Amino acid sequence: MRGPHNIWRLIRTGATFERTGAMGVVLKAIDAPRPLRIAAHVLGWPFKWLGLRGDPALPPVTRAITALGPSYIKFGQILSTRPDFVGVELATQLRVLQDKLPPFPMEQARQTIAREIGKPVDAVFSELSEPVAAASIAQVHKARLADTGEEVAIKVLRPGIERAFRKDIDAFYFAAGLIEFLSPASRRLRPRDVIAHFEATVLRELDLRIETAAAAEFAATTAGDEGFAVPKVEWSLSSRGIMTMEWVEGIQFADIDALDAAGHDRVALADKVLQLFLSHALRDGYFHADMHQGNLRVGADSTIIALDFGIMGRLDEYTRRVYAEILIGFIRKDYRRVAEVHFEAGYVPADRDVDEFAQALRSVGEPIFGMDASRISMGRLLSFLFEVTETFGMETRTELILLQRTMVVVEGVARTLNPNMNIWQVAQPVVEDYIRESLGPRAFARDLFKTARVLARFGPQLPTITERLFTSQTQAQPETTAGQGIGSVAWFAIGAATASIGGVIGAVLF
């Protein structure tokens, strides 16, 4: 890591926020304590002249974030979905970060497309439009295939974007290390691991071949979802630097006036987008992890159309069941069970008191029920949750970071459509369906059959494994009595017999 560069980057970040006037706006929006406001201005003011100027035509925070680059833009995109946290005015300003950023020149886009497909642009496309959307990592053009006349969308990476991201990520690592050094209590949150997770996610997003595969897989796993669609990808016209898929028409989720004018039921759309996300996460273990308004469209028949598959999330079966049990426990106000699940999953150290943890969870969950979403401050809720986790020694679960972040984003998207939405009531039927399918008797039987199938694969190796185990025990413990040796092998024989039985069951059933 380059220490001087990182220090300079962090100083310039604060200076840019101070110079553009964004510092005061942000501190006011999050209702920062007076001491924090004073400290931020005192530390930022001497370096103000070092800050980036940005585009004066943009609002202060948007101006600062766009000037600082793609990593900061990603963070701004998340905040744009949280009007309850940053305020309606600031959230509205930040929405331009989703797909209304300044595009790069058309000539650079044509050069990238020609290089990636290995042919002149005019030989493949009869039409190629100016950029129709530009985001932090890439921009999109509308085109028409020369051979079929089909309309397609071409996503083109920004030139030099990977180098820019690596510089910011390097600075983030430096900041994480500084935080751990200055605040030992923060180490339980594993700041470095959080940045590592972010780095891996972003670098995957910079390879459009991976995104093309993600779109195809997501289309397959959601094919049966009524009212949800994923555009078809064009594999022959997709590579590391470009991605081509069918062109789709629809109204952006952020365009509330247009949705109302078209007669769409915003309350129903809000419920659907949240329930679809939960279905994908719990049922499939594969979900769209960047579901902000810029990546969602509403078709003429109210179908929700997903775009931009650069960030996708995965959850293994065990984690899905833990997550579902935690959710259903909160929904049913069974805080004792929620606490037990945390202990069983190893999320809370075993030496902590489960009853005290359950009581702490009750203090978090109870205020939610009986209230509409517009009266709940997610900022205060998350702050209190942080205090609870710190008290009970919980560590950051890096495998759940993407899920937790996406849940916040999706809830924010839904609230822009229906400010009075109650997330728990909407989530309940989806979670209960998953619980019935995954934690009931049928699920138990499926788990047994899967276990039998795995054991059956080792059938041909059982004689060799048994002989090696018996030989190794005899050589390692020559003084072992005959009875003890036979006992050890007997237990293994029982296991072998179980595997054999599993093989028979697997052969019959599968």
Active-site amino acid positions: 290
Q: How would DSSP label each residue in 26-62?
A: HHHHTT--HHHHHHHHHHHGGGGGGS----TTS-HHH
Rounded CA gap, 10 and 177, in Å? 13
Q: Among residues 410, 191, 426, 134, which one has the least CA distance to residue 289?
A: 410
Rounded CA gap, 266 and 364, in Å? 29
Our measurement of the distance from residue 383's CA atom to the centroid of its chain's CA atoms, rounded to an integer in Å, reads 20
Q: Which residues make Cβ contacts (< 8 Å) with residue 64, sequence separation at least 6? A: 16, 17, 20, 22, 51, 52, 54, 72
| Residue 101 per-residue DSSP state | S
Q: Which residues make Cβ contacts (< 8 Å) with residue 91, sequence separation at least 6? A: 79, 80, 81, 82, 83
Rounded CA gap, 69 and 131, in Å? 19
Helix axes of 441-456 and 482-509: crossing angle, nearest 10 degrees: 110
SS3 state at 302: coil
Rounded CA gap, 135 and 184, in Å? 37
How many other C-beta atoms can be found within 10 angstroms of the C-beta atom of residue 133?
Answer: 20
Rounded CA gap, 73 and 360, in Å? 35
Strands 304-306 and 228-229: parallel
Q: Which residues make Cβ contacts (< 8 Å) with residue 471, sequence separation at least 6? A: none
Rounded CA gap, 452 and 354, in Å? 35
Please say whether the beta carbons of 286 and 403 come within 8 A: no
Q: In what order do the strands lie in the sheet with 296-298?
A: 228-229, 304-306, 296-298, 251-252
Sign of CA dihedral 49, 50, 51, 55: positive
Q: Which residues make Cβ contacts (< 8 Å) with residue 403, sequence separation at least 6? A: 281, 287, 289, 313, 315, 323
| Residue 100 per-residue DSSP state | B
